[in-house]
Amino acid sequence: MPHVSRRCSWLISPRSALYGTAIVLNPPRVLVVDDERYIRGLLSELLTVWGCQADVAASGTEGLRLFKQKSYDLVLTDYSMPGGSGLELVENVRNSDAAVGVIMLTASGADLDDHGQRLGFRLLRKPLQIDRLEAAVKQALGDRKSEA
């Protein structure tokens, strides 16, 4: 089992691993884009425990650069970030790979449902509920796997 910091260990139950305790030769790759360092760290640790390989970016610009360099199964992005919104990132991601899973996180009260339908992303409101996040990640990765 991957190392988990003490601040995350209480969030994770033994049943939470997406792939159980089996060794995954090609773990799903997830790109986490959030301007808040602690959120990036928490999401990265959770994804690692759930059997994913996570890369992190602090801005939409950095996230798009990473996305163009590597192949990802899922993008987890914040909506509101300095230097560009999560919507701009998702539009660019969709232009490169229409099939990649996308989950957008927001504390904003903005109505993003129309954008979510148009761009095909799942919207989760902050404060995050870990069980909802885990279910959304599992579903997005399952959808991606069934398309392959």
- List the domain boundaries for the chain: 26-147
- State the architecture of 26-147 in CATH terms: 3-Layer(aba) Sandwich (3.40)
Q: What is the pLDDT of residue 89?
A: 96
Maximum C-alpha span of the chain? 40
Q: Is the pLDDT of residue 19 over 50?
A: no
Task: Name the one residue in this structure whose structure tokens are 């099939």.
Answer: 99
Tens digits of residue pLDDT in 104-131: 999 887 788 788 888 999 999 989 999 9
The reported pTM is: 0.82
CA 33 to chain centre: 8
Integer angstrom CA distances of residue 114 from 39, 118, 120, 121, 122: 26, 6, 10, 10, 11
Confidence of residue 23 (pLDDT cuts 50, 70, 90): low
